[in-house]
Amino acid sequence: MSEEKVVPVIEHLVELRKRLVIIVIAVIVGMGVAWNYSGDLLKFVEKPLTGKTYLTEIKKDVYLKVKELAPSMYVRYKLDQEINAPQKQRPLNYSAPLEPFFIQCKISMLAGFVIALPIVFYQVWLFIAPGLTRRERKMVVPFIVASSLTFCIGALFFLIIIWPVIINFSLSYEAEGLQSWFNISAYVNFCLRLILMFGLIFELPVLAFILARFGIVNYQFLASKRKYALLASSIISAFHADLITMFVIMIPLYLMYEISIWVTFIFGKKKIRVEEELPAES
Protein backbone atom coordinates (compact mmCIF):
# COMPACT_ATOMS: atom_id res chain seq x y z
CA MET A 1 0.00 0.00 0.00
CA SER A 2 1.44 3.36 -1.03
CA GLU A 3 2.06 6.20 1.43
CA GLU A 4 -0.63 8.33 -0.28
CA LYS A 5 -3.25 5.68 0.53
CA VAL A 6 -2.05 5.07 4.09
CA VAL A 7 -2.29 8.70 5.20
CA PRO A 8 -6.05 9.13 4.43
CA VAL A 9 -6.80 5.84 6.22
CA ILE A 10 -4.93 7.02 9.32
CA GLU A 11 -6.72 10.37 9.17
CA HIS A 12 -10.10 8.60 9.03
CA LEU A 13 -9.17 6.41 11.99
CA VAL A 14 -8.06 9.45 14.01
CA GLU A 15 -11.32 11.20 13.14
CA LEU A 16 -13.31 8.09 14.07
CA ARG A 17 -11.54 7.87 17.43
CA LYS A 18 -12.31 11.52 18.11
CA ARG A 19 -16.01 11.03 17.38
CA LEU A 20 -16.18 7.85 19.49
CA VAL A 21 -14.52 9.60 22.46
CA ILE A 22 -17.08 12.41 22.30
CA ILE A 23 -19.91 9.88 22.08
CA VAL A 24 -18.60 7.95 25.10
CA ILE A 25 -18.29 11.15 27.15
CA ALA A 26 -21.83 12.19 26.17
CA VAL A 27 -23.21 8.77 27.17
CA ILE A 28 -21.39 8.89 30.52
CA VAL A 29 -22.83 12.35 31.25
CA GLY A 30 -26.28 11.10 30.23
CA MET A 31 -25.78 8.07 32.47
CA GLY A 32 -25.08 10.39 35.39
CA VAL A 33 -28.31 12.28 34.71
CA ALA A 34 -30.33 9.06 34.41
CA TRP A 35 -28.81 7.39 37.50
CA ASN A 36 -31.32 8.91 39.94
CA TYR A 37 -34.23 7.77 37.77
CA SER A 38 -33.05 4.19 37.23
CA GLY A 39 -35.30 2.92 40.06
CA ASP A 40 -38.38 4.44 38.44
CA LEU A 41 -37.37 2.97 35.09
CA LEU A 42 -37.00 -0.47 36.67
CA LYS A 43 -40.47 -0.19 38.23
CA PHE A 44 -41.90 0.67 34.81
CA VAL A 45 -40.23 -2.40 33.28
CA GLU A 46 -41.59 -4.53 36.16
CA LYS A 47 -45.21 -3.42 35.64
CA PRO A 48 -46.27 -6.37 33.44
CA LEU A 49 -45.27 -8.77 36.24
CA THR A 50 -48.44 -7.84 38.13
CA GLY A 51 -50.44 -9.32 35.26
CA LYS A 52 -52.39 -6.06 34.88
CA THR A 53 -51.70 -4.49 31.49
CA TYR A 54 -53.67 -3.06 28.59
CA LEU A 55 -54.23 -6.67 27.50
CA THR A 56 -56.06 -7.52 30.73
CA GLU A 57 -58.20 -4.40 30.34
CA ILE A 58 -59.17 -5.46 26.81
CA LYS A 59 -59.96 -8.98 28.06
CA LYS A 60 -62.09 -7.53 30.86
CA ASP A 61 -64.12 -5.45 28.39
CA VAL A 62 -64.66 -8.53 26.20
CA TYR A 63 -65.83 -10.64 29.16
CA LEU A 64 -68.25 -7.93 30.27
CA LYS A 65 -69.65 -7.86 26.74
CA VAL A 66 -70.07 -11.65 26.92
CA LYS A 67 -71.88 -11.24 30.24
CA GLU A 68 -74.27 -8.80 28.60
CA LEU A 69 -74.92 -10.80 25.43
CA ALA A 70 -74.54 -14.40 26.64
CA PRO A 71 -74.98 -14.65 30.45
CA SER A 72 -75.10 -18.46 30.41
CA MET A 73 -71.69 -18.67 28.71
CA TYR A 74 -70.34 -16.12 31.18
CA VAL A 75 -71.42 -18.31 34.11
CA ARG A 76 -70.46 -21.62 32.49
CA TYR A 77 -66.83 -20.63 31.87
CA LYS A 78 -66.54 -18.72 35.18
CA LEU A 79 -65.39 -15.55 33.49
CA ASP A 80 -66.13 -13.57 36.64
CA GLN A 81 -63.06 -15.20 38.20
CA GLU A 82 -60.94 -13.84 35.38
CA ILE A 83 -62.33 -10.33 35.83
CA ASN A 84 -61.99 -10.29 39.62
CA ALA A 85 -58.65 -12.11 39.78
CA PRO A 86 -56.37 -10.32 42.29
CA GLN A 87 -53.07 -8.88 41.18
CA LYS A 88 -50.10 -11.04 42.06
CA GLN A 89 -46.87 -9.63 43.38
CA ARG A 90 -43.96 -11.19 41.52
CA PRO A 91 -40.78 -9.53 42.79
CA LEU A 92 -37.58 -9.86 40.84
CA ASN A 93 -34.86 -11.90 42.53
CA TYR A 94 -31.09 -11.80 42.52
CA SER A 95 -28.57 -14.43 43.53
CA ALA A 96 -25.15 -12.78 43.15
CA PRO A 97 -23.44 -10.02 45.15
CA LEU A 98 -23.74 -6.54 43.61
CA GLU A 99 -26.12 -7.88 40.95
CA PRO A 100 -28.72 -5.10 41.52
CA PHE A 101 -25.94 -2.49 41.34
CA PHE A 102 -24.78 -3.71 37.93
CA ILE A 103 -28.39 -3.81 36.72
CA GLN A 104 -28.77 -0.20 37.84
CA CYS A 105 -25.63 0.63 35.85
CA LYS A 106 -27.03 -1.05 32.72
CA ILE A 107 -30.39 0.73 32.98
CA SER A 108 -28.66 4.07 33.54
CA MET A 109 -26.30 3.46 30.64
CA LEU A 110 -29.11 2.77 28.16
CA ALA A 111 -31.11 5.73 29.48
CA GLY A 112 -27.97 7.87 29.23
CA PHE A 113 -27.49 6.73 25.64
CA VAL A 114 -31.08 7.81 24.83
CA ILE A 115 -30.47 11.21 26.48
CA ALA A 116 -27.27 11.62 24.45
CA LEU A 117 -28.87 10.59 21.13
CA PRO A 118 -28.72 14.07 19.53
CA ILE A 119 -24.98 14.26 20.27
CA VAL A 120 -24.43 10.68 19.10
CA PHE A 121 -26.14 11.28 15.75
CA TYR A 122 -24.42 14.66 15.36
CA GLN A 123 -21.02 12.97 15.74
CA VAL A 124 -22.05 10.34 13.19
CA TRP A 125 -23.02 13.14 10.81
CA LEU A 126 -19.72 14.99 11.34
CA PHE A 127 -17.83 11.79 10.53
CA ILE A 128 -19.58 11.33 7.17
CA ALA A 129 -19.91 15.06 6.38
CA PRO A 130 -16.59 15.41 4.48
CA GLY A 131 -17.94 13.10 1.80
CA LEU A 132 -21.14 15.12 1.33
CA THR A 133 -21.95 18.07 -0.87
CA ARG A 134 -22.74 21.50 0.56
CA ARG A 135 -26.45 20.97 -0.10
CA GLU A 136 -26.44 17.57 1.57
CA ARG A 137 -24.71 18.96 4.67
CA LYS A 138 -27.70 21.23 5.27
CA MET A 139 -29.73 18.14 6.18
CA VAL A 140 -27.91 17.80 9.51
CA VAL A 141 -30.75 19.15 11.69
CA PRO A 142 -33.53 17.03 10.09
CA PHE A 143 -31.24 14.00 10.35
CA ILE A 144 -30.54 14.49 14.07
CA VAL A 145 -34.16 15.26 14.97
CA ALA A 146 -35.65 12.41 12.90
CA SER A 147 -33.07 9.85 14.07
CA SER A 148 -33.50 10.73 17.75
CA LEU A 149 -37.30 10.73 17.55
CA THR A 150 -37.58 7.45 15.66
CA PHE A 151 -35.28 5.68 18.11
CA CYS A 152 -37.35 6.92 21.06
CA ILE A 153 -40.60 5.97 19.30
CA GLY A 154 -39.26 2.47 18.67
CA ALA A 155 -38.19 2.07 22.32
CA LEU A 156 -41.55 3.32 23.63
CA PHE A 157 -43.45 1.14 21.15
CA PHE A 158 -41.66 -1.88 22.54
CA LEU A 159 -42.11 -0.96 26.21
CA ILE A 160 -45.78 -0.02 25.95
CA ILE A 161 -47.09 -2.45 23.30
CA ILE A 162 -44.73 -5.41 22.89
CA TRP A 163 -43.20 -5.95 26.34
CA PRO A 164 -46.56 -6.61 28.08
CA VAL A 165 -47.40 -9.18 25.38
CA ILE A 166 -44.15 -11.07 25.99
CA ILE A 167 -44.51 -11.06 29.79
CA ASN A 168 -48.23 -11.96 29.69
CA PHE A 169 -47.43 -14.87 27.42
CA SER A 170 -44.74 -16.03 29.84
CA LEU A 171 -47.07 -15.70 32.86
CA SER A 172 -49.78 -17.70 31.08
CA TYR A 173 -47.75 -20.84 31.81
CA GLU A 174 -48.20 -20.43 35.55
CA ALA A 175 -50.19 -23.28 37.06
CA GLU A 176 -50.40 -25.33 40.21
CA GLY A 177 -46.88 -26.51 40.87
CA LEU A 178 -45.40 -24.18 38.25
CA GLN A 179 -44.77 -20.59 39.33
CA SER A 180 -42.64 -17.83 37.85
CA TRP A 181 -39.39 -16.84 39.53
CA PHE A 182 -37.69 -14.13 37.49
CA ASN A 183 -34.02 -13.37 37.94
CA ILE A 184 -33.36 -9.62 37.76
CA SER A 185 -30.39 -9.95 35.39
CA ALA A 186 -32.15 -12.24 32.92
CA TYR A 187 -35.32 -10.12 33.03
CA VAL A 188 -33.69 -6.71 32.64
CA ASN A 189 -31.02 -7.80 30.15
CA PHE A 190 -33.70 -9.31 27.91
CA CYS A 191 -35.73 -6.10 28.09
CA LEU A 192 -32.79 -3.75 27.46
CA ARG A 193 -31.60 -5.81 24.49
CA LEU A 194 -35.03 -5.60 22.86
CA ILE A 195 -35.35 -1.86 23.61
CA LEU A 196 -32.10 -1.28 21.76
CA MET A 197 -33.16 -3.55 18.92
CA PHE A 198 -36.53 -1.85 18.44
CA GLY A 199 -34.90 1.57 18.55
CA LEU A 200 -32.56 0.51 15.74
CA ILE A 201 -35.40 -1.13 13.78
CA PHE A 202 -37.30 2.16 13.76
CA GLU A 203 -34.21 3.88 12.33
CA LEU A 204 -34.65 2.06 9.01
CA PRO A 205 -36.96 4.67 7.41
CA VAL A 206 -34.54 7.47 8.37
CA LEU A 207 -31.63 5.55 6.88
CA ALA A 208 -33.68 4.90 3.75
CA PHE A 209 -34.53 8.62 3.52
CA ILE A 210 -30.88 9.65 3.73
CA LEU A 211 -29.74 7.05 1.19
CA ALA A 212 -32.58 7.97 -1.16
CA ARG A 213 -31.78 11.69 -0.99
CA PHE A 214 -28.16 10.90 -1.78
CA GLY A 215 -29.26 8.78 -4.74
CA ILE A 216 -27.73 5.58 -3.34
CA VAL A 217 -31.01 3.63 -3.27
CA ASN A 218 -34.38 4.18 -4.89
CA TYR A 219 -37.94 2.89 -4.71
CA GLN A 220 -37.50 0.30 -7.46
CA PHE A 221 -34.41 -1.19 -5.83
CA LEU A 222 -35.99 -1.61 -2.37
CA ALA A 223 -39.32 -2.83 -3.76
CA SER A 224 -37.57 -5.54 -5.77
CA LYS A 225 -35.80 -6.85 -2.64
CA ARG A 226 -38.92 -7.51 -0.55
CA LYS A 227 -38.43 -11.27 -0.41
CA TYR A 228 -34.83 -10.83 0.75
CA ALA A 229 -35.96 -8.34 3.39
CA LEU A 230 -38.52 -10.85 4.67
CA LEU A 231 -35.85 -13.55 4.77
CA ALA A 232 -33.41 -11.25 6.58
CA SER A 233 -36.12 -10.27 9.09
CA SER A 234 -36.78 -13.95 9.79
CA ILE A 235 -33.09 -14.73 10.25
CA ILE A 236 -32.49 -11.78 12.59
CA SER A 237 -35.53 -12.59 14.72
CA ALA A 238 -34.65 -16.30 14.80
CA PHE A 239 -31.74 -15.58 17.15
CA HIS A 240 -34.32 -15.32 19.95
CA ALA A 241 -35.29 -18.63 21.48
CA ASP A 242 -39.06 -18.32 21.93
CA LEU A 243 -41.55 -18.11 19.07
CA ILE A 244 -43.46 -15.10 20.44
CA THR A 245 -40.35 -12.90 20.69
CA MET A 246 -39.34 -14.02 17.21
CA PHE A 247 -42.61 -12.79 15.71
CA VAL A 248 -42.76 -9.51 17.66
CA ILE A 249 -39.32 -8.69 16.23
CA MET A 250 -39.84 -10.00 12.70
CA ILE A 251 -43.15 -8.23 12.04
CA PRO A 252 -42.07 -4.68 13.05
CA LEU A 253 -38.73 -5.17 11.29
CA TYR A 254 -40.40 -6.05 8.00
CA LEU A 255 -43.01 -3.30 8.43
CA MET A 256 -40.20 -0.76 8.82
CA TYR A 257 -38.77 -2.04 5.55
CA GLU A 258 -42.13 -1.48 3.85
CA ILE A 259 -42.29 2.04 5.31
CA SER A 260 -38.75 2.61 4.03
CA ILE A 261 -39.91 1.68 0.52
CA TRP A 262 -42.61 4.34 0.63
CA VAL A 263 -40.19 6.87 2.12
CA THR A 264 -37.87 6.39 -0.85
CA PHE A 265 -40.84 6.64 -3.22
CA ILE A 266 -41.99 9.98 -1.72
CA PHE A 267 -38.68 11.63 -0.84
CA GLY A 268 -36.19 9.96 -3.19
CA LYS A 269 -34.51 11.80 -6.02
CA LYS A 270 -36.65 11.96 -9.11
CA LYS A 271 -34.79 10.95 -12.24
CA ILE A 272 -35.48 13.21 -15.19
CA ARG A 273 -34.91 11.51 -18.49
CA VAL A 274 -34.35 13.69 -21.52
CA GLU A 275 -34.68 11.86 -24.78
CA GLU A 276 -32.58 13.26 -27.55
CA GLU A 277 -34.04 13.09 -31.01
CA LEU A 278 -31.59 11.63 -33.44
CA PRO A 279 -31.66 12.84 -37.04
CA ALA A 280 -33.28 10.38 -39.37
CA GLU A 281 -30.93 8.37 -41.48
CA SER A 282 -30.96 9.27 -45.12
**pLDDT tens sequence across 22-72:** 999 999 999 999 999 999 999 999 999 887 788 788 888 888 888 888 888
pTM: 0.83
Alpha-carbon distance of 6 to 25, in angstroms, equals 29
Mean pLDDT, the chain, rounded, equals 85
Burial class (CB in 10 A: 0-12, 13-18, 19+), 248: buried
Mind listing the pLDDT tens digit for each residue in 266-278?
A: 877 655 333 344 4
In sign, the C-alpha dihedral spanning 45, 86, 78, 59 is negative
Phi, psi dihedrals of residue 183, rounded to the nearest 5°: -85, 135
